[in-house]
Structure 1
């Protein structure tokens, strides 16, 4: 059976301070952010009825909008409350949470100083970002054709919709070639990230990850780094060149959608789904479900 299109799901969406029916959450075709890519958004997950690191995500939504030159007319606390209330209204325990803010349709030109800033939250049930059966076998990544841009040419610290255009293109190309995703380089030719997740490598018991100076420093990325250090695993943030992948033993991706996902291939390079990857998969699963972990203890 084909999946139900997102605009045909049922339930409610919080939009501009009100809870409205899912089918009524609409914008005009001349909405500025549809034409000029000025939306900012978050990707969050709820586990057992609680949204993991909700406030951090709401704060980053505000920071992303500020970088793009506008202010969201709802506070961090108001967005937190909207997300939590909507999760209960939808009746979900485990779900994906998508807050988004965007410029409206008062002006449709490059300039948009007079446009209203809209904000919405949608929540739906969404399983693993990658195929669950293949996940622990390690996914295969292609090399992306596009690169993350110089931060002098794009607002790379903002989780902004326009920055994902090359990610969609790169993932489509990778999937057409039989891969699950693509690993992107930056404008310098250094390893950056996958199309929607940060990347880590393992060598000699240490974690190595690219310095987040031209792509998003993910909340899940930071969480996994904390979990690794708590377990005595050294974390090294540094520039990583593609040819270094030949010397790494393990590789995995991190993100709210991807969670912690082991990688078995990046182009011509091969990796084992080893002990550190498995440890951090479990550590993250326990961190997002603390009640379950406490009960098991």
Structure 2
């Protein structure tokens, strides 16, 4: 990833229906989305100039907005066309696309029913989320102190900015202690996910993954489950307890940014990236580049 600050880049951002210079894509300091987290977004990977599963990401963006009680003021087809043109204008072939929608600054209070909804799309070149050498060796996770809350406390199916506050805190703590990322438990103490990726465990040709009943059921997670059938792997979605972490042979994370990332350890529990990690990395790479 480039060392240039995101506010200093060259190129274009699509903002409220227009392509504007990167530095001119601005918002007001009293924006409701900034103060009250009334913001939804997507993270989309670009391979060979095309967004992988663009339609699925677009549909989730609109579902997220609905769950956050606002309406995106553009048709889905318009946003998808803008995404494609933006990639061309910025010459992004392999990278990342970020659509985001938020409530504006007309009202600065908990109520925001009269605030205008803004939409922007940005894109940039972006290699693997984790350092390539670390990714091949497997990354190290630390169990986070913060937990995913009960499903009746937030619209967890929405990819909304407010859900990532504890993810940032957890990842910072992990990095401060020499780890790459954090494993998050839910309010019951069950294994949930990493800070911005889902988690799978493997024994032989069986994958185990937590049931997404209080955290986002990621698009890459769904893709892995689809690939498992073609690869003759069984997938078991169930409760996974921290006391079981030492019972599995392999572990990997899945996410649009993380793709398929092997894990070498969670706290004191070690894993050796093997056949399952290799099989799904290869199958996923083939799928996204098809």
Q: Deviations over 1:136-189 (max 9, x none)?
A: 111000001100110111110000001100000000000000000000000010
Deviation at 1:205, TM superposition (A): 2.0
Segments of 4+ moved more than 2 angstroms: none
Partner of 2:141: 141
Q: Deviations over 1:231-250 (max 9, x none)?
A: 11000111111111111000
Partner of 1:91: 91
TM-score w.r.t. length of structure 1: 0.96
Deviation at 1:204, TM superposition (A): 3.5
Gaps of 5+ in 2: none
Partner of 1:196: 196
Partner of 1:269: 269
Partner of 2:287: 287
Partner of 1:34: 34
Matches within 5 A, 1:12-161: 12-161=12-161
Partner of 1:182: 182
Residues matched between the structures, number:
290
Give the stretch that moved more between structures: 169-178 or 124-133. 124-133
Partner of 1:294: none
Please give the root-mean-square deviation of Cα atoms over the aligned residues, in Å.
Answer: 1.0
1:211 aligns with 2:237: no
Q: Is the 8 A contact 2:48 2:94 kept in 1?
A: yes
Q: Deviations over 1:46-102 (max 9, x none)?
A: 100111000110110000000010010112111111111100111111010000000
Q: Is the 8 A contact 2:205 2:232 kept in 1?
A: no
Q: Secondary structure at the match of 1:225?
A: helix
Deviation at 1:2, TM superposition (A): 8.2
TM-score w.r.t. length of structure 2: 0.99
| Structure-1 separation of matches of 2:201 and 2:76 | 34
| Structure-1 separation of matches of 2:164 and 2:272 | 29
Q: Secondary structure at the match of 1:170?
A: helix
